[in-house]
Amino acid sequence: MTSRADIPGFLLLEDGTLFHGRLVASSPVTVAEVVFTTNMTGYQETFSDPSYRGQIVVMTAPMIGNYGINPEDPESGRPQIAGVVVRELSRTFSNWRASGDLQGWLGAANVPILEGIDTRQLTRHLRSVGVMRGVIGAGADATDEARSALDACPSMEGLDLASVVTTDRAYEWGSPDAPYHIVAYDYGIKRNILRLFESHGCRITVVPSTTTPEEVLALRPHGVFFSNGPGDPAAVTYAPHAIRTIGKAGIPVFGICLGHQLIGLSFGGSTMKLPFGHRGGNQPVKELATGRVLITSQNHGFAVLGSEQDIPGAPELEVTHVNLNDGTVEGLRHRTLPIFSVQYHPEAAPGPHDARPLFKQFINAVRGEVGRSGPNA
């Protein structure tokens, strides 16, 4: 178990608000966008989710670390966050799957943990004025070095982080004998998405974010998936051409989170940055066709601009789901092509499983493509 190091630390926000705490491990000054999540469990999945790349995550749960870490739960090969802010970090852990402690896992990746912060006050501040850039540093007060680093930190708007977190080469996931072949664009794909596709009888070819649609179509997939990921969707300028080309070829297309936003952009829509985003496992979403309400897992700071009625500039798209907290668009479907998407995370790692049937919906469309093109495509 990692030993404790009591180092005075601080979080300075770009509006000048200063929070004092304890820096659990010595680290250089860390600057990033500061966001909060309302997930009460699943911190290892959260911290390893590539969609959190380049962000300092505030945990609203009062204590984390009490069940340790394990090799099965990470959503990628390493912690992706820039830093963690908590009320209390548990120095002991107990779980039959645990292989180590959270402090050691994050410390090995040079991710600072700032504890002893009133995270309720910090969260209320971010909800009131919006998420913003911040800096974590050591010391009783903010240093000139920290202030300079904060001034130099870029805004999340305009950043293409999908090209940063994507795989550098294509790879396979699942049995080579699986009946369905899915090509997945990796903009920051979570492992649980791949696990769920595999559980539905799929072999997945994961490709880099800049893979051309011609290269994908040459693989003869039965369906194409556009994944979650970090950053500003409007900066991923290479994606819309791929989405339109593959969709117009008649291949079933499914998008989640960033993939959903890119589908909106591909057919004439726009995206906007939300004041404080949706991050947590308790977001209510209404399915417009049935009126059914799903409790969903979410992690996004941008959204497709629109309402229940339409997506301005994108008459080919139909809105299928909306967020009941703020009315933002949570689902889309193309009116004539086999394309649909959701803003939330039906793979839910962590989070509720209300929306997992969406994977079956996609597989049903894929079965139709298998019948059209043959099982050996």
> Which two tokens mark 13?
């926000």
The residue whose two tokens read 């798209």 is 317
The Cα–Cα gap between 254 and 189 comes to 13
| Rounded CA separation 212/210 (Å) | 6
Active-site positions read 257, 345, 347
- The values of phi and psi at residue 262, to 5°, are -70, -35
Burial of 121 (0-12, 13-18, 19+ CB in 10 A): exposed
How far is the C-alpha of 272 from the C-alpha of 302, rounded, in Å? 5
Cα 157 from Cα 159, distance rounded (Å): 6
Beta carbons within 8 Å of 248's beta carbon, 6+ residues apart:
337
Give, as one character, the DSSP assignment of residue 51.
G
Strands, E assignment, the chain: 7-13, 18-23, 30-37, 55-59, 63-64, 83-85, 88-89, 113-115, 132-138, 171-173, 180-185, 202-207, 223-226, 253-256, 271-287, 293-304, 317-323, 329-334, 339-342
For residues 66 and 92, is the Cβ–Cβ distance under 8 A?
A: yes
CA-to-CA separations, 140 to 29, 57, 112, 184, in angstroms, rounded: 14, 21, 16, 47
As a whole number of angstroms, the distance between CA 194 and CA 30 comes to 31
DSSP 172-197: EES-TT-SEEEEEE-SS--HHHHHHH
